[in-house]
Structure 1
Amino acid sequence: MAESAAKRIKTTGSPLIGTHNGHFHADEALAVHMLRMLPTYRESPLVRTRDPKLLETCHTVVDVGGEYDPARNRYDHHQRGFTTTFPGRPTKLSSAGLVFMHFGRAIIAHRLGLSEGEQPQAEGGKDGDVDLLYGKVYENFIEALDAHDNGISVYDPAAITAAGLEKRFSDGGFTLGALVGRLNPNWNDPVPSDPDAAQAEEDKRFLRASARIGEEFEREVDYYAKVWLPARAVVRDAFDRRTEFDPKGRVLVFDGQSVPWKDHLYSLEAESGDASVLYVLYPEKPGPGAKWRIQCVPESKDSFVSRKPLPEAWRGFRDAELDGITGIEGCVFVHAAGFIGGNKSFEGVKAMADKALA
């Protein structure tokens, strides 16, 4: 089973990790970093080679060797017929996805200061925090890397062509894959004449790439563990109280301060079967006297289309002029796109929500 992979490793020394040499990519760079986040692999040496005999000496091999055999710690995805995906997701895995699928729970548990077996209950959920974060980190970080390495487009290319859509600009250099790729040697860089020295120089570049993408991965895990997850209880409390502010439950209010709410709101709506929230009200900062914001709920997390935008007549106006248009005192602004606005007080922003609903 994937979740028992870390427990399966028993060795008296630091297990040797193997991956391929030559041009490196984001997937094996991250796979190596993720392994080294675990105590068992913390001091593991790394060999970068395509020599089968050398790879046989490695305890764990990623992205080379033509084998996917977790019982032998072999995690390649290039072999013919490989179709493995993360549970519940459609994207074929890269070496990073394979390592995360088998070691991700242990990595997250260790990052949270837990043993692998500890599963604190996520607020309002059936599964533990580790399981919740395991799925979330895969979907929001690892999956895009898997797709990139396997040449899978975000959108169906045939559908894009059929729709006659063309990219407005190139975004190829604006990815973690591109960041890692730029750390490879250039074709015209000087290469040491000694093969061992040349390999050592290439390996130094790989380790820089592994540390760079690993830093982004650790930041992602920390965000979801220390910021996103604690917000769940705050959003649930506001969701449970939504009919206090509107009989139909269309207004969500955060009393103390705003938290990352979109993911949690959509999951709570899915659990309850009620997707009626249109506006979220929150203070700009904690403490008395703070100004308040009204934000429209998007149709989906990444959408720029609101379920119900603020009235068109309000958009692009500010302060006293906006007071006159809305008939509400204390208005600060309404964005020209109509997805957000502000008022000097909760009473004022609540009045804006009521009028917008009407």
Structure 2
Amino acid sequence: MAEYTPVGLENDTRPITALTHSGNFHADETLGYVILHYALAPHGDLKGRVLGESADDRLRFERSRAPDRIGAADIVFDVGAVNEPARGRYDHHMKNKPLRDDGMPYSAAGLLWKDYGLAAVRHLVATPVDDATAEAIWRAIDGSLVVPVDQDDNGVAKMGKLSLADIVSACGPAWDTAEVYGVQEAKRREAQGFANAAGIVAAHLTHMVDRVRASLKAADRVVAAYEQAEDKRILIMDTGMPTEKVIFERDLPVVYVVSPAGPKQWNVKAVPPVRGDFGQRVSLPEAWGGLETTALAKVSGVADAVFAHPARFICGAGSKEGAVTMARRALEIDAASRA
């Protein structure tokens, strides 16, 4: 977080001109532009501003390498060979690159996220959140999206094919566009490509922020459900939501998670031994695997049993009570088999 007030955040009315370089564009400067959009002028025209079609907008945006345009802009990023955030300069191409605390070089987007990310998050969330939640979202997006962009843009590690970086690059015109269509058309296609890329990045960032917000909400509910559980090995959730992250981060001894899978079904899902892995801490009973309805009800003793997957990591019943009973009986059968 900044120890100074970043340019444009001192008030919300002063017109701000932001500039990045022209020519080939990447995930770095595209994400940087999107961050500034949400931090400073979230109601503006994201694409129209790039294409020069948005006149009434607090944030003005340019793509140029001309020294006079760079000097005149309020915020300059990924160009200019200067990193002085207090006066709106965010380049990272100099010999002494700006570094994170762990030594990782920042990209321009990383530098902008450090200063403007929290303001962007507050505009991206659908409903207001408290300071602690906003900062938690900011940190989560920093680790999951911004750091990979830092790594990719600095040649530390590629994001890979079909990554955000690859998709952004694919929005640019082909190398021979000027040769085939002429210089003016090449410039038009480059601007349109950047605008399209910005739209993609903006949608991705918006969805990521909302998913992180929901993940934090889920964490609180998972912890509350665990604290109320009679048998700490069985986590009963009244709403379907991600639970595995919290279980492993907090080292909870949960074996089965019971949650609704629709209006007429509740599932029992086995927790894997390692987060994201296949396998189960305790597999469902071997005799249940692959059975459905009547056959499963007969073997399990649960009248409204619906199914048990052949891999024995999930099963279901028609009611919450039936699913909880299946979880308890699975644990009893496992204990008996070990006796």
For the residues of structure 1 that align with 2:162 and 2:114, how far apart are their CA atoms? 26
Task: Name the count of aligned residue pairs.
Answer: 316
Indicate whether 1:306 and 2:280 are aligned. yes
Partners of 1:217 and 1:18 in 2: CA distance: 21
Q: 1:183-222 residue pairs with structure 2 within 5 A?
A: 183-190=171-178, 193-194=182-183, 198-222=186-210
- Give the superposition deviation at 1:29: 0.6
Deviations 1:121-156 (A, max 9, x none): 6xxxxxx111111112222333333333333448xx
Query: For the Cα contact (< 8 Å) 1:14–1:40, is it kept in 2?
Result: no
What is the deviation of 1:301? 4.1
Per the alignment, residue 281 of structure 1 pairs with 258
Deviation at 1:348, TM superposition (A): 2.5
Tell me whether 29-38 or 51-60 shows the greater mean CA deviation: 51-60
| Matching residue of 2:270 | 296
Determine the C-alpha separation between the residues in 1 that align with 2:103 and 2:252: 26
List aligned pairs for 1:11-90, cutoff 5 A.
13-39=14-40, 42=44, 43=57, 44-82=59-97, 84-85=99-100
Question: Could you tell me how far 1:4 is from its partner in structure 2?
Answer: 4.9
Q: How does 1:138-287 map to 2 (within 5 A)?
A: 138-153=142-157, 172-190=160-178, 193-194=182-183, 198-225=186-213, 227-242=214-229, 244=230, 246=231, 249-255=232-238, 257-267=239-249, 269=250, 274-285=251-262
Q: Partner letter of residue 320 of structure 2? A: F
Opposite residue 26 of structure 2, the aligned amino acid is H
1:111 alignment partner in structure 2: 124
1:347 matches 2:291: no
* 2:321 maps to amino acid: E
Q: Deviations over 1:261-282 (max 9, x none)?
A: 2333444x2xxxx521111101
Flag the 1:22–1:312 CA change in 2: closer, same or farther, 3 A.
farther
The equivalent of 1:124 in structure 2 is none
Q: What is the CA-CA distance between 1:119 and the residue it aligns to?
A: 6.9
Residue matched to 2:295: 321
Structure 1: runs of 5 or more not aligned: 122-127, 155-170
Matches of 1:275 and 1:2 in 2, distance apart? Answer: 36
Mapped partners of 2:176, 2:306: distance in 1 = 57
Task: Give deviations 1:147-188, integer Å, cap 9, x for gaps.
Answer: 33333448xxxxxxxxxxxxxxxx944222121111111123
Partners of 2:161 and 2:233 in 1: CA distance: 41
State the 1:354 CA deviation: 1.8
Work out the CA distance in 2 between the residues paired with 1:265 and 1:285.
23
Residue 278 of structure 2 aligns with an amino acid whose one-letter code is F
3-state SS of the aligned residue for 2:290? Answer: coil
For the aligned residues, what is the CA RMSD? Answer: 3.0
1:111, distance to aligned residue in structure 2 (A): 3.0
User: What's the CA shift for 1:107?
Assistant: 1.1
The Cα of 1:238 is off from its aligned counterpart by 0.4
| Distance in 2 of aligned mates of 1:8 and 1:215 | 23
TM-score if structure 1 supplies the norm length? 0.77
Give the superposition deviation at 1:101.
1.6
Change (3 A) 1:229 1:4: farther
SS of corresponding position for 1:45: strand
| Deviation string, structure 1 residues 69-115 (Cα, Å, up to 9, x no partner) | 21122222333342522x6x77543222221121111111233479x
Runs of at least 5 residues in structure 2 that lack an aligned partner in the other structure: 45-56
Deviation at 1:194, TM superposition (A): 4.8
Partner Cα distance (1:22, 1:7) in 2 = 25
